[in-house]
Structure 1
């Protein structure tokens, strides 16, 4: 091999290894593998893993010879709403974000929002006092080395928080679509501890009397952001500490006009199994029985997929019905756009294609809500999920609600269920857990002959479900048919089903034309 070629190979090897060296030498890993010596820094993620339930004295051995950690202060003493004598720092690393609380006592006011600090932690105690904290930090243990002007914050659901509390505790979070429980009375304020339900999960909102928003009246529904900590007075419950008035957003639904009438909107079709991957390509068709401006009268569509492994309540009935969230239910908020009586409109994945990837674009149709649910999750309910409408197995379906804030007791105005005949994941008649039904052509909250209550799907006569279509993964648009009287607001002919086979070249008109579409009569 000639000398020039050998030199070129050495240069190439150097170029390839240089980024690896830089990454390792600048990281907060437990060890410096380049030099073969212990690093003085430990990542907060690794620090949190040391605590196994009991207090821990953080010796050099426990810290793998490290003695410091780093973070950016996200608590704001000046805001008046931080745990007494505590500052909270979070640490961002590639693809990760973790935080820890520091018990500093009277010097908490010395450290401001955005301070980038080094913390000496060797021989301090790691404790859980509701939330995990490092106890005994003094002024000599903290060095301010810079200031951050922006902060990482994650949108999370209650379901995600309780599945991975160690990941989210002591970081900035935002929870969208919370319902205050019990329903707040007129004049009730945030001062103290208030409970908020998000999906099937409860979070506390903690507000000190010194917070500028402590006197703010509690609305029915909110989006809230702040620092997430384990609640110091309620074991197993997580609490959000808002920092500013702007951290609490009132999203309560407007009062719904009484003349809206029964079934103002109805489900008329769906594509649950487009050809290829389903994520962001599933969609639902509805038709309007009245003129609707969604900015004035909001609605929401909630889907459910009850695959046996889907959390929460895997393999069991949903803990909070349509509001369960997680991988079980996902919500689309219909808050913009308009639809005229008789028009079809659509809700679903943001790709807006008729039959999966590389098929006909159908952007010209009236899409009231289209979101990248496979990566971003739903509108305040539902984690990221590549399959919101099941292709096989347990029952799946969709429900329509007036307003965008729903809870376990919310009753839909329309409902379509499809899939297998099993009931293990859909109904628990003893504990009254399940999916509440609408009063429509196939379901009723009361037995229509005996008057007995049957509020859930799979209870009493509420057994109707459309079967899964085979073969799978070819792309089928399920047309629901039926005849609806828009004057009497009732079904003259109940909906059925027809599997219209799509191709990659199918046109948008196939969804709204033909003998099997839902008909309207006056």
Structure 2
């Protein structure tokens, strides 16, 4: 017993010392490892021999840069896919354009001057380029890799698929360096002024896609220079830049006659366009909701009737499920108001809605003096032909509401509107079936009955690429949804696509707040 009493404290002390020794050893090991990391952040790792074009272009600060392994972060090569094609005679002479997505999936391109050898590189060629010793320079507005001998380029494979990159003119204009030397497609492009039957692509043409204008350049000796200009088409091509003063000015170059796909050879003018609405006034909505529209031509509604349909897809709206009869479903899902009397002059606003005729609900400024083509008591009356009486035409949050204008007053499941817009995307709106069910759309600045890239049919909202919608505002405030854009009657298209602006109205607001700055403009 005494021996035990003598050795137990000794054992505890020894155990304690060993524990502290282990802790100190672990701390020492951690500190050594930390110091090692300070000297080499990636011990044992190897730097990639390839630098992304994204990173390469950031080295250029306005002056030529001689490329070395040092300033390329330890790399010597770029790799990418060729997108240029000299067979059509419309590329900058002697240049190949190469693009990659090696950095953060960001597409970037760069040009390499190769003289007569450039024609031997085709779209889809995968290449590796040793750029150590080359010079990064901007020549005639185009970022280029100079002094790259042909022996520094290795073709790895050919015929590789190049994913379609849809871009807008607004994208290019806002960031020309980002899209330079990359392949893209401008969708639903047209020309201003409209081409005459004898007009051809040769020269510089102003191309508009509803988001802005860009120069489409076609060399006089290009193989497709004498081709007729389409009214509406998808244009595939490469963005190159030129210098105007100190700024980059983008130019779009098609490569061959196969780089445009005609969508239409005729002009279809939309007679009525939706320009705004209020769906949730301050206070009770009953008979105070209204829709603002614009006539793009003189319309005598007694001779040329139209109709408006609103769809409400709130969970309480019946019938539930997908709308088997589309816009003509009726009950609490769709409500129709006919426009069969009155007159609207070309380029003027007119209104359809409840009997209140006030700008923001009960007790607000009267707008009865405006051109009301139809004010209808939807609280106490069913709709024209379909739709049950209701305290509110629109859903106010959550599931989608929609608004469509139709030529005539006979609407069936197959009737296509002349203009349409949706707010939000929730609810049972579309099913591919079979059978296919949904709300028909038409060709607008937001929707396409046929996918402009794949050319597949997509005749309903939420089918294919038809997913664009407005967003709901705060409830019970009195926001007027302004759909501001620019519609060109002569071209029969939106040259500035509609965008949503929310104008918060008061009880004292006046008409200028919904018809003034930011409202739709008709260009004649």
- TM class, shorter-length: 0.5 to 0.7
CA offset digits 1:16-68 (Å, max 9, x no partner): xxxxxxxxxxxxxxx99574343221011111222233322223322112111
2:137 & 2:335 partners in 1: Cα distance? 54
Q: Are 1:90 and 2:172 counterparts?
A: no
SS in 2 for 1:70: strand
Match of 1:218 among 208, 229, 248: 229
Match of 1:146 among 154, 157, 180: 157
Per the alignment, do residues 150 and 395 of structure 1 end up closer, same or farther by CA in structure 2, a change over 3 Å counting? same
CA offset digits 1:356-405 (Å, max 9, x no partner): 999xxx9745423599x89xxx979xx99875244148742459988962
Match of 1:122 among 113, 132, 141: 132
Q: Are 1:103 and 2:132 counterparts?
A: no
Q: Are 1:244 and 2:285 counterparts?
A: no
Give the superposition deviation at 1:428.
12
2:483 & 2:192 partners in 1: Cα distance? 25
Structure 1 window deviating more from structure 2 (252-261 vs 85-94): it is 252-261
Residue 519 of structure 2 is matched in structure 1 by 435
Asked if 1 retains the 8 angstrom alpha-carbon contact of 2:305 and 2:408, the reply is no
1:384 & 1:65 partners in 2: Cα distance? 46
Q: Give me the TM-score of the superposition, normalised by structure 2.
A: 0.53
Match of 1:406 among 494, 498, 507: 494
1:203 & 1:237 partners in 2: Cα distance? 9
Per the alignment, do residues 435 and 259 of structure 1 end up closer, same or farther by CA in structure 2, a change over 3 Å counting? closer
The CA RMSD over aligned residues, in Å, is 5.1
Asked if 2 retains the 8 angstrom alpha-carbon contact of 1:190 and 1:214, the reply is yes
SS in 2 for 1:246: helix
Q: Are 1:67 and 2:76 counterparts?
A: yes
Residue 269 of structure 1 is matched in structure 2 by 310
1:266 & 1:356 partners in 2: Cα distance? 21
Give the superposition deviation at 1:246.
2.5
Asked if 2 retains the 8 angstrom alpha-carbon contact of 1:68 and 1:120, the reply is yes
Residue 303 of structure 1 is matched in structure 2 by none
CA offset digits 1:461-501 (Å, max 9, x no partner): xxxxxxxxxxxxxxxxxxxxxxxxxxxxxxxxxxxxxxxxx
Name the larger-Rg structure. Answer: 2
Name stretches of at least 5 consecutive residues in structure 1 with no aligned partner: 1-30, 276-282, 291-331, 439-454, 457-522
Q: Are 1:81 and 2:90 counterparts?
A: yes
Name stretches of at least 5 consecutive residues in structure 2 with no aligned partner: 1-39, 272-296, 317-326, 328-332, 340-401, 454-464
1:81 & 1:427 partners in 2: Cα distance? 49
Per the alignment, do residues 113 and 102 of structure 1 end up closer, same or farther by CA in structure 2, a change over 3 Å counting? same
1:71 & 1:193 partners in 2: Cα distance? 30
Asked if 2 retains the 8 angstrom alpha-carbon contact of 1:266 and 1:287, the reply is yes
Residue 319 of structure 2 is matched in structure 1 by none
Residue 182 of structure 1 is matched in structure 2 by 193
Per the alignment, do residues 437 and 103 of structure 1 end up closer, same or farther by CA in structure 2, a change over 3 Å counting? closer
Residue 314 of structure 1 is matched in structure 2 by none
1:179 & 1:58 partners in 2: Cα distance? 42
1:404 & 1:62 partners in 2: Cα distance? 53
Match of 1:172 among 177, 183, 189: 183
CA offset digits 1:192-226 (Å, max 9, x no partner): 22111233422111111232210012234332111
Match of 1:45 among 24, 48, 54: 54
Q: Give me the TM-score of the superposition, normalised by structure 1.
A: 0.53
1:168 & 1:399 partners in 2: Cα distance? 27
2:495 & 2:482 partners in 1: Cα distance? 17
Per the alignment, do residues 264 and 160 of structure 1 end up closer, same or farther by CA in structure 2, a change over 3 Å counting? farther
Give the superposition deviation at 1:254.
3.6
Asked if 1 retains the 8 angstrom alpha-carbon contact of 2:313 and 2:427, the reply is no
Per the alignment, do residues 60 and 352 of structure 1 end up closer, same or farther by CA in structure 2, a change over 3 Å counting? closer
Match of 1:396 among 478, 481, 503: 481
Residue correspondence of structure 1 range 1-40 to structure 2 within 5 A? 35-40=44-49
Q: Are 1:206 and 2:217 counterparts?
A: yes
Residue 327 of structure 1 is matched in structure 2 by none
CA offset digits 1:440-470 (Å, max 9, x no partner): xxxxxxxxxxxxxxx99xxxxxxxxxxxxxx
Structure 1 window deviating more from structure 2 (179-188 vs 207-216): it is 179-188
Per the alignment, do residues 76 and 41 of structure 1 end up closer, same or farther by CA in structure 2, a change over 3 Å counting? same
Residue correspondence of structure 1 range 258-337 to structure 2 within 5 A? 265-269=306-310
Residue 368 of structure 1 is matched in structure 2 by 441
1:200 & 1:351 partners in 2: Cα distance? 22
Give the superposition deviation at 1:170.
1.7
Per the alignment, do residues 397 and 54 of structure 1 end up closer, same or farther by CA in structure 2, a change over 3 Å counting? same
Asked if 2 retains the 8 angstrom alpha-carbon contact of 1:228 and 1:239, the reply is yes
SS in 2 for 1:237: strand
Query: How many residues are aligned here?
Result: 343
